[in-house]
Structure 1
Amino acid sequence: MWLAQPLLRRKLARRGAAEPVYLQAVQERFGYYDAPSGAGFIWLHAVSLGETRTAAILIKQLRQRLPGMRLLLTNGTATGRAEGAGLLQPGDIQVWQPWDTPGAVQRFLQHFKPRIGVLLETEVWPNLAAACRQAGVPLVLANARLSEKSLRNALRLAWIAKPAYRSLAAVWAQTEIGAQRLRQLGAPVSAVFGNLKFDAAPDAAQIAQGKAWRAACGRPVILLASSREGEEAQFLQILQSIRAEAQAVHTQVATESIANKVQWLIVPRHPQRFEEVAALIERHGLSVSRRSAWASQPQAADVWLGDSLGEMALYYGLADVALLGGSFEPLGGQNLIEAAACGCPVVMGPSTFNFAQAARLAEAAGAARRADSMAVALQTALALTRDAPGRTAMAERGTGFAAAHRGAADKTAAAVVALLGS
């Protein structure tokens, strides 16, 4: 890790060309800080955007239980840091996650002297775990998950992975299956609390705005939500063939699409890809209207592009049906819980290992449907646009499914407070 530092600096410089936040406070990543030193922080680490939004749910509960709490928030990505800035209160501090070398980690711990460290979901680093244990800082893994693939990879590096997991003070898993996998690595799993994401409350005003725009549009809206690399190309290629009716395999889709006059909407997962996806849409011969250019309402175009952050509730309110991004490439899927909580029917692809139990439960509850390819998913979505009772039933089952699994935030916050008092 020490030898790899020049590679990290080079990577930050590359990413900083597109996202200047990566060029801010670079020395923080190596344990050198302009922020004042202190003691008694409640430290949460949320690597990226999704984890930071999850952290917000837990932070709210912790502030209720620990009045006057001073938050130390660490992030690893530009989107995570930008989102996290909105969670800070006077006295809180936000810095980059320290690069996992003994020196950087020790400087981080000596500078801030946290009372406890809470890592979210998967972020276990060997030097960080060892240094916290040596310094007497209880380090826990909350909302913990581990896929079968990640377990196999960790077991191949068991000589370094197992000591890291054994160094944790506690692990609170999302699912019992995840807990079993974590225990194979020596993790001290003390409870299964469920998924913190169920406790997120969608923005009602955004949902209402989206529904109003959908009604004004006058035609069904199909959303590709939180799309990842390769998925937009699949989606657009099928749309292109729909328009041209050139490929016989998509004839049925084409006929249905023309009959329904569908409005297509794409919301990429990562903001650094907004320009790339806009150009991709145009290369497929389709016109594009970007959310950033909308004033009072969406502008007419073949494809709407959701190029904004923090508005997924608006996009789910705008859509009749959502195709789950990250599930049509072998990427494990994105968060389908948010779509369900917003009352948006979901069609997911074959790859959902990041949300395996949630996907399974959503499908069983009737809140989501499974498709084995993007083409089949589009056929399913188009069929749903003609089935108002079916969409209504899926929406109701989605909100019911999301509500039924809440409670992880309260349990996790209580466990953190208990550990502080032990």
Structure 2
Amino acid sequence: MASLPRLIYTGLLLLLLPLINRRLERERLNALSARQRAGHVSPSELPVIWAHCASVGEVLAAEPLLRELQQQHPDKQLVVTTMTATGAAQVRQRLPEARHYLLPLDLPWNTDRFVATLKPVLGIIFETELWPNLIHSCQQAKVPLVIANGRLSEKAFRRYRRIRPLVREALQAVRCVAAKAQEDGNRFVALGLPTDRMEVSGSIKYDLQVPADLSRWAADLRSGWGTTRPVWIAASTHEGEDELLLQAHQQLLKHQPDTLLLLVPRHPQRFDQVAEQVAAQGFSYSRRSLQQPVTSQTQVYLGDTLGELLLLYAAADLAFVAGSLVPIGGHNLLEPAAVGVPVITGPHLNNFTEIAGLLRQAGALKEVADAAALPEALLQLWRDAEARQHQVQAGLQVVDANRGALKKQRRMIEQLLAEQDALADKARTEHS
């Protein structure tokens, strides 16, 4: 029988269902999307390792770990769920041998159906997403759950604390949390996770794997733009930021008329909208998705493709990581640092407090208070080659010094898989 907190939670979800379905329609993939949201998936002949990555960022962070699990366990089927269509696209591109489904809506009959059909031997939830009914369905089916790369910002913690009885029940059903930092782990414990189930492993985002040919691909791309012109990237932008960044670019053009901005919106649903915004502000621009050439007259290059952010970072001189001029909380600061590009950000970094702190302490992060300060910050770095090189080297050192979380989290997962295999062997022996 459902607990009172879950009954209330489920009732509220049902009341909000029309609004939720309208929102989920934006993440529709195909005719099967609605069935997947209802928990209808295909059974697997092989034992299933199920991993959930909310969207693009989680898929990119999880990719090295999931690849290793695929290599080490060819006798098991990797199934990856996402909340978003963009996350789905990344799974299919980066993990083609994995099955992908959209995560079922967190109603008990959906989640029971999903777990009963898939029968995972292990579930791995990346970062934060705590879906009470899904976690309960896994508990009832004796599916051990791991929260990998566990992240819980102060903002998320305050939000979850308002529904602590519901969250506590969910966390009591989780076998272990591999927290990316001590402060994240402390917040999980404060919400109800037993202390002995928390381990601080560091962030697997430091274990980002940069393709060996990336610098050559970036140089080839850059050669078509003009190797001497200044190029900066504004990456993972949100609504409300694009206009500010384009205004900053207008100011830059007054000082350096040949400057090129690589503008990369976070969500593909906004690609056309941002293109219209760029045109409305009078910029000469090209769209990467249309393979339009970048000429000496091009002022903005719209990065409206998926899976190319590292390449575009590597092709730029300076990188502004967005989601930080508006109260989103920032995005992954380690990607530009790992490819050797100086990192600039705005003031809103609550999603990356620990990473920002390490980069800041090393002198690898330049922060601006608002968009008005951005043009001068970019100009200062372009004029000071020594400062640029210091940021590059400091960023690379921070990334290298903090690698290792991948190995720790894989060890934790391997231990649980070994326990599950032993239980399966015992069950087969008893029935033979």
Q: Trace 1:307-322 onto structure 2 (pairs within 5 A).
A: 307-322=304-319
337, 340, 359: which one aligns with 1:340: 337
> Does 264-273 or 211-220 show the bigger shift?
211-220
State how many pairs are aligned: 403
User: Is the 2:249–2:261 contact (alpha carbons within 8 Å) kept by the matching residues of 1?
Assistant: no
The alpha-carbon deviation at position 413 of structure 1 amounts to 1.1
User: Which residue pairs with 1:280 in the alignment?
Assistant: 277
Runs of 4+ aligned residues of structure 1 deviating over 6 Å after TM superposition are none
365, 368, 373: which one aligns with 1:368: 365
Q: Which amino acid in 2 is paired with 1:61?
A: E
Tell me the TM-score normalised to structure 2 length. 0.88
User: Which residue pairs with 1:7 in the alignment?
Assistant: 19
Tell me the TM-score normalised to structure 1 length. 0.90
219, 225, 239: which one aligns with 1:229: 239
User: Which residue pairs with 1:247 in the alignment?
Assistant: none
**CA distance in structure 2 between the aligned counterparts of 1:420 and 1:298, rounded to whole angstroms:** 54
User: Which residue pairs with 2:422 in the alignment?
Assistant: none
User: Is the 2:340–2:395 contact (alpha carbons within 8 Å) kept by the matching residues of 1?
Assistant: yes
User: Is the 2:286–2:294 contact (alpha carbons within 8 Å) kept by the matching residues of 1?
Assistant: no
Q: Trace 1:17-416 onto structure 2 (pairs within 5 A).
A: 21=29, 23-33=31-41, 35-38=42-45, 40-88=47-95, 92-188=98-194, 189-214=197-222, 216-240=226-250, 242=251, 257-259=254-256, 261-294=258-291, 300-416=297-413
> Does 393-402 or 109-118 show the bigger shift?
393-402
User: Is the 1:42–1:117 contact (alpha carbons within 8 Å) kept by the matching residues of 2?
Assistant: yes
User: Is the 1:121–1:145 contact (alpha carbons within 8 Å) kept by the matching residues of 2?
Assistant: yes
User: Which residue pairs with 1:249 in the alignment?
Assistant: none
Q: Which amino acid in 1 is paired with 2:353?
A: A
- Secondary structure in 2 matching 1:146: coil
**CA distance in structure 2 between the aligned counterparts of 1:384 and 1:314, rounded to whole angstroms:** 21
User: Is the 1:40–1:114 contact (alpha carbons within 8 Å) kept by the matching residues of 2?
Assistant: yes
**CA distance in structure 2 between the aligned counterparts of 1:314 and 1:335, rounded to whole angstroms:** 15
CA deviations 1:243-279 (Å, max 9, x no partner) are xxxxxxxxxx67xx42464222211111111111111
User: Is the 1:65–1:417 contact (alpha carbons within 8 Å) kept by the matching residues of 2?
Assistant: no
CA deviations 1:200-220 (Å, max 9, x no partner) are 112343333323444534211
What are structure 1's unaligned runs of at least 5 residues? 243-252
What are structure 2's unaligned runs of at least 5 residues? 1-12, 420-432
Structure 1 133/87 Cα, relative in aligned 2: closer, same or farther at 3 Å? Answer: same
> Does 321-330 or 283-292 show the bigger shift?
283-292
The alpha-carbon deviation at position 289 of structure 1 amounts to 1.2
Query: RMSD across aligned C-alpha pairs, in angstroms?
Result: 2.1
**CA distance in structure 2 between the aligned counterparts of 1:372 and 1:278, rounded to whole angstroms:** 26
The alpha-carbon deviation at position 297 of structure 1 amounts to 5.9
**Identity value in percent:** 37
**CA distance in structure 1 between the aligned counterparts of 2:103 and 2:46, rounded to whole angstroms:** 17
